[in-house]
Amino acid sequence: MTPTTDRSQLFLPASIIIAGLLVGGGLYFGLSKSGGSVGQGDTQPAANVDIKDVKTEGAPFIGKADAKVVLAYWFDYQCPYCKAVDVGGIPQIPIEPALPILIKDYVDTGKLKIVFKDYAFLGPDSTTAALYKNAVWKLYPGKFYEWHELMFRTQDEENGGFGDEASIIALIKKIPGMDAAKVKADVAANKAEYQKRIDADRAEGSAFGINGTPGFITGKTLIPGAAEISSFTQAIDPQL
């Protein structure tokens, strides 16, 4: 059964290996090791990349379960480039966020299914958020995208404040219909299982050539980094 799109269930690459920091407007980014420059927009067709080979069973998704086109999205909740693609709002990464457009034009019209894959690599808060992602999807699939989007809107600097367990619990309490204590208990009870899934998602992404976040695969196209919407539509439209 497909969870209803109550804006609750969805989701791409971001950071080239960057060992440094960006300061702008008081915002610090110890930027992610990722693959794409701002607005890169390049797609990379590759014979060994095929969405049919991506393991999607059991993974969080938004859209129709049997949608004709599937987009797999590897991300890290601490990654600023992922935030730029997901919800925007980062002056240093001045691109129009692609996710809202994809949801409106492709997911809500039944054409696209977006599958969310973990690539937690930026620190302990990345792992904590990924653990909670698995629990939220298990317990509240209809609330998943609402939570996911709020996670990115609340993001601050990498491992610099928001993102530990206490702050995620506080965020869950703001979402009507979710029991923060229940989610916390589920994470505690299933941490080992969820960690295996997190590790498997990252290993799978790496095997496909994704070396950071965000990273996307649809059809036989790899979209690395914080790409413009045109990179996605150029890869999706021919599949329709």
Domain that holds residue 216: 22-239
pLDDT of res. 219: 97
Task: State pTM to two decimals.
Answer: 0.82
Q: Is residue 122 part of a domain?
A: yes
Q: Which residues contact 159 (CB under 8 A, 6 or more apart)?
A: 30, 78, 122, 123, 124, 125, 126
Pairing label, strands 221-224, 215-218: antiparallel
Q: Is residue 16 part of a domain?
A: no
Interior angle at CA 238, CA 232 and CA 240, nearest 5? 100
pLDDT of res. 59: 97
Whether the per-residue pLDDT at 18 is higher than 70: the answer is: no
For residue 14, what are its two tokens? Answer: 């971001």
Could you check whether the bond before residue 60 is cis, i.e. omega within 30 degrees of 0?
no
Average pLDDT over every residue of 221-238: 97
Q: Residues 45, 114: contact at Cβ < 8 Å?
A: no
Q: Is residue 32 part of a domain?
A: yes
Q: Residues 76, 119: contact at Cβ < 8 Å?
A: yes
Q: Is residue 1 part of a domain?
A: no
Dihedral, 156, 157, 158, 164 alpha carbons, nearest 10: -40
Q: Is residue 221 part of a domain?
A: yes
Q: How would residue 162 be classed by pLDDT, with cut points 50, 70 and 90?
A: confident
Q: Is residue 11 part of a domain?
A: no
- Number of folded domains that form the chain: 1
Q: Is residue 12 part of a domain?
A: no
Q: Residues 144, 137: contact at Cβ < 8 Å?
A: yes
| Nearest to 152, CA basis, from 10, 2, 22, 4 | 10
CATH number for the domain spanning 208: value is 3.40.30.10
Q: How would residue 156 be classed by pLDDT, with cut points 50, 70 and 90?
A: confident
Amino acid present at 161: G
Q: How would residue 160 be classed by pLDDT, with cut points 50, 70 and 90?
A: low
Q: Is residue 28 part of a domain?
A: yes
What are the tens digits of pLDDT across the range 51-86? 999 999 999 999 999 999 999 999 999 999 999 999
Q: Residues 131, 93: contact at Cβ < 8 Å?
A: no
Three-state DSSP class for residue 31: coil
* Helices vs strands, H then E, count in the chain: 7, 8
